[in-house]
Structure 1
Amino acid sequence: MIRFLPLFFSVFLWPSISLAQTDSTSVLDAQCRDADTGASLPYATVVIRRAGEFPRVHITDLHGRIEIDGLAPGIAHVQARRQGYAPSDTTLVLSRGLISTLELSLLPIPILLREETTVQDISAPDLIRLLIANTRFEYLHTGYANMDTYAFDAYSSQKVINRKTEEVVAGIEYTIKGYYQPPDSLAQHITGIRNWGKWRLSVSPGLTQSPARGIVDDKSFEIAPHPLSSDALEHYHYERISTVQVGDLHVSRIGVSPRHGHKPGLLGDLWIARDDFSLVGYDLRLNFPALLQLRGIDHWQVYQQNTRYLNEYWLPARQICTIKTRDYTAQATTRCYRYDLNTDLPPAIFEAPEIVILPEATTRDSTFWAAHTADRDTAHIRMKSELLQGNLPAAWQKLGSGRNQ
């Protein structure tokens, strides 16, 4: 049984191709902040209203940002809302083929916390100690005593971008049925898949469990110690950047950097819940000494944002893996939804390889995709209507044949 899912990359030397861009839409890049402190506001609701259209509703990430593409040019009314803050409204004109940037400042309005909620002044190193002391499934989520198993659905899309021309030269989308049982068993079955283009770079499917290890050109690597290792405090510096209120909870953002910059490590941010010291999310990338170990890789980054279910469990909601070489960028975005907690799972699920492409996955018709992508944003994939057989990245073809990574 595979107990980890590395990122998987292969660099191919096919001739470059160029696809004409006929993008007639607009992109909105918005940032939500606390008007008093300037702190980023994660989990804020951003509503975009346009005359004659249904409102579009989006949630900011852990950095307080959203990027929305596929918007029609013209006048748009944007409102940002968040519990404990007054709404922020503005109107702007979206231009065809351009990115519009917007900063939304929300004025805090104190709200009454639950009586038992207390906010202690805990240092960043102490928060990390408490997080490490918790039972945890690597970087995916904290272990919970009353959560035995779960099943989930996920939708993922991946694109490869030519860094010189900024053109998308390949795309893939797929659906996943995932299963978990403690302490560290994860099975991910790809139930539908379609793709187009030529692959210079690829990210393996599904959720990755750790940003500190992976495989490049069939050679595995692992950065140790990493920011959540048992001895991490000896090797990393932690700084509390901000603490924001999410409903009646508080979440602290912790900056992470290696104490010795000349040694391989990770740097970025961790988010920790202050009530039970659960992992809320992270945004970590390899530092330069670590990248020197990876032939041909210029950038390696994983972002994960968890959502609180049943007011108790912080479970993955979105994960973005980004890899860059000199010529190409590969980015995979996975969105998890429809968690079924403490469900009976057959043991046979975890006896197969961790990631399996089901035989029927490549034969799904338009009816399947209409049902599974109705509420997913796939505009940037520019998927062709036909299914392209035998054109998967090399690493994915191994999965299709049932071989382990």
Structure 2
Amino acid sequence: MSRDVFVTGVGMIPFAKPGAHEPYPQMAAKATAIALADAGIGYDQIQQAYVGYVYGDSTAGQRSLYEVGLTGIPIVNVNNNCSTGSTALFLARQAVASGAVDCVLALGFEHMNPGALGAQFPDRPSPFDRFDQATEELVGHGEIPLALRYFGGAGLAHMNQYGTQLSTFAKIRAKASRHAANNPVALFRTPVTEEQVLAAPVMWPGVMTRLMACPPTCGAAAAIVCSEAFAARHGLDRSVRIKAQAMTTDSPATFEGRDMREIVGFSMARAAAQQVYAEAGVGPEDIDVVELHDCFAHNELLSYEALGLCPVGGAEKFVCDGDNTYGGKVVTNPSGGLLSKGHPLGATGLAQCTELVQQLRGTADKRQVKDARLALQHNLGLGGACVVTLYERV
């Protein structure tokens, strides 16, 4: 049994730099309140909740939602690295689609520390040990933080194979800033030029500058999904439906490919996208707007190819032709993406959901993609998991 699932309420708070934000329970409660108000229902109508975060103690999801209400519902805590928010949404959608419940909350938040990400439990095997070993063998540069080595190394592999220029990654970052200028909840709203991106402090000579990496941020976002019968019974918005969704994890190609693009999830993302297209009966050429996982400008470029938005090896032309923005083939990251909006790990997937629902409702103001009907979301977590979701305007 599989029922249609509608996103009837979304909400997020502006993301902030570490130290410039409220504690996580307050951030999460505010995002939930916005989503409930957007849906037009009370918390007492939520039957289950899936709450995602990466850096926090067990049952932080309960601690957050107890700020909203004590209704005794099942609350499931979710951690899937950077794809945590979309994993919470994946579970919420499954619960409704299966017929188990009619109305579910997916919530994500993150209360991060400044600086590069690091291990929280150094006294036991790291879930990234195989990724770290492969990265050391393929790119070395042990003096560079691992996240930069992962995605910078993947970008370098593309540069080496296809002659991709550093300036192409700078163009992606500049595009993100132009989009973010119209987003009132983006962290960085000042446009930057390609030249300014290239002139930023160098993090890896010839491979990456600081502006090509997303900032660590704190924040929260939420979505409410429900069945068609529930929405009709309560007079809720049914304009946005989850048409298809897939989650994938790593395959042998991740390590056997001996390619940094595989280490950062290229095949994992491509498999999820292909499953979604097949389930929905559409192709990448049918997509109007995309929110994809641009933790680094390099990963945005790789994701164009993984999602089928352009041919493999054709991402540089895709960027230089302007096919990734307004007036091109498909608008990517109209929100400004992680590069400009920020990346609080547990909240990111639900912030992407919020943007795309607004786009399909036609309420995205100056960011609005004209006549948007199909919207694709891509949220990647190393270690690994990838969630791809296709939303449809009904």
TM over 0.5: no
Higher helix share: 2
Higher strand share: 1
Higher Rg of the two aligned structures? 1
TM-score (norm 1): 0.29
**Relative contact order, CA 8 A, sep 6+: which one is greater?**
2
